């Protein structure tokens, strides 16, 4: 399969953007930086429409490849007909657990009236044990594992797959669990911005030995649409707030119960209160790279996570299994309602 020009970033644009990244990374005002995919200048209607409708691959090297093997999906352009398999996809939901994403596809199939009750949905990525993928109608459900490295690998291959399938008008939503700050357990947080552990709305990555900074803003209108859907459901508390994305589960999130902890409880609480004062309402480990990569690829995206505990009151999850299962269904219910409403089935 030889890929054409449409949808690729020009090599000069990529190089220019890379140089901008380096300049900004060295700047003391790095937090004010708007990464590629987010411009301070007003876009023309044609540019905005193009950004909303198509997947952009910011890698001109892919154009030279006759075949693209998505190794971690066990899929490839030389062995699979991507437009036939995925061309009708409009909604992609991603989450950490394979079993949770299988449960979601069964749930959305029932909600949309597709498939039979109790029907089985095969794992499209059954040729690998890295990720799981399920599809029903226009909805794709994909697991991403835990943490930034795992979700970034998945997103590289997912974005390429959607491009090869010639998909358009895609909405990608991460659904998951998180630790809340100042919220009752079971509250759902729709992310306004993903911030790092210093509360800056940015994703920092080292590429070729140099640090680059990318924007972590998410689609504001999509967040508002999801909040409105929650109001219409009226089953659980939902807020829009910033999400802190950390590099690990224990020290990086200020827990006191890890194998290593060299700070006091007072220091922990002071840090979490500072996070709350900055607008952070929950903590997880994937949203920053998710937002950054969706921005660069021109994809409308959101993060919807339920809180399993209030971190100002403790570190360990103490709710019963049944309660936790119900909490984990809340993002599914919200996103499922959003998809139904978007398809005119509400």
**Mean pLDDT for the stretch of residues 95-116:** 93
Question: Would you say residue 316 has pLDDT above 60?
Answer: yes
Q: What angle do CA 224, 137, 118 make, to 5 degrees?
A: 105
d(CA 53, CA 13): 20
In this prediction, residue 7 has a pLDDT band, given cuts at 50, 70 and 90, of low
Question: Would you say residue 18 has pLDDT above 90?
Answer: no
Confirm whether residue 311 is marked as ligand binding.
Answer: no
For all residues of the chain together, what is the average pLDDT? 88
Confirm whether residue 307 is marked as ligand binding.
Answer: no
More confident residue, 118 or 326: 326
- Please give the backbone phi and psi of residue 95, each rounded to the nearest 5 degrees, phi first: -155, 165
Confirm whether residue 175 is marked as ligand binding.
Answer: yes
**Mean pLDDT for the stretch of residues 184-196:** 98
Question: Would you say residue 30 has pLDDT above 90?
Answer: no
Confidence (pLDDT) at 49: 45
More confident residue, 312 or 34: 312
Domains 62-169 and 176-317+336-345 share a fold: yes
Question: Would you say residue 42 has pLDDT above 80?
Answer: no
Confidence (pLDDT) at 21: 40
Neighbours of 171 (CB within 10 A): 21
Q: With pLDDT > 70 as the criterion, what percentage of the chain qualifies?
A: 85
User: Which CATH superfamily groups domain 176-317+336-345?
Assistant: Nucleoside phosphorylase domain (3.40.50.1580)
Confidence (pLDDT) at 9: 56
CB 278 within 8 A of CB 166: no
Confirm whether residue 174 is marked as ligand binding.
Answer: yes
Class of domain 62-169: alpha beta
**Mean pLDDT for the stretch of residues 109-115:** 92
Confidence (pLDDT) at 11: 42
b/e map 266-282, b = 16+ CB within 10 Å:
eebeeebeebbeebbbb
Question: Would you say residue 281 has pLDDT above 90?
Answer: yes
Domain definitions of the chain by residue range: 62-169, 176-317+336-345
Confirm whether residue 17 is marked as ligand binding.
Answer: no
Confidence (pLDDT) at 53: 65
Confirm whether residue 281 is marked as ligand binding.
Answer: no
Confirm whether residue 300 is marked as ligand binding.
Answer: no
């Amino acid at each position: 399969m030889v890929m054409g020009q449409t949808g690729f970033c020009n090599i000069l644009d990529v190089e220019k953007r890379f140089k901008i990244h380096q300049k900004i990374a060295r700047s003391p005002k790095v937090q004010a930086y708007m990464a590629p995919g987010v411009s301070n200048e007003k876009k023309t209607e044609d540019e905005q429409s193009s950004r909303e409708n198509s997947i952009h691959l910011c890698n001109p090297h892919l154009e030279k490849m006759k075949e693209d093997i998505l190794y971690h999906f066990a899929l490839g352009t030389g062995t699979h007909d991507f437009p036939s398999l995925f061309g009708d996809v409009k909604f992609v939901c991603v989450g950490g657990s394979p079993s949770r994403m299988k449960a979601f596809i069964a749930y959305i199939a029932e909600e949309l009236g597709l498939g039979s009750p109790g029907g089985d949905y095969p794992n499209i990525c059954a040729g690998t044990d890295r990720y799981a993928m399920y599809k029903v109608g226009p909805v794709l459900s994909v697991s991403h594992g835990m943490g930034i490295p795992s979700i970034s690998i998945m997103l590289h291959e997912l974005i390429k797959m959607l491009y090869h399938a010639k998909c358009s008008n895609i909405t990608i939503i991460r659904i998951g669990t998180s630790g809340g700050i100042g919220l009752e357990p079971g509250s759902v947080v729709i992310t306004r911005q993903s911030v790092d552990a210093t509360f800056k709305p940015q994703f920092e990555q080292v590429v070729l030995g140099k640090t680059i900074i990318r924007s972590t803003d998410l689609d504001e209108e999509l967040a508002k649409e999801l909040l409105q859907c929650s109001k219409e459901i009226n089953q659980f508390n939902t807020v829009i707030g910033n999400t802190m994305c950390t590099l690990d589960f224990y020290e990086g999130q200020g827990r006191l119960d890890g194998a290593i902890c060299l700070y006091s409880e007072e220091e922990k609480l002071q840090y979490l209160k500072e996070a709350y004062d900055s607008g952070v309402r929950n903590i997880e480990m994937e949203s920053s790279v998710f937002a950054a990569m969706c921005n660069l690829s021109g994809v409308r995206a959101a993060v919807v996570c339920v809180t399993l505990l209030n971190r100002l009151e403790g570190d360990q999850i103490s709710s019963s299994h049944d309660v936790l299962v119900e909490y984990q269904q809340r993002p599914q219910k919200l996103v499922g309602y959003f998809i139904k409403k978007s398809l005119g089935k509400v």
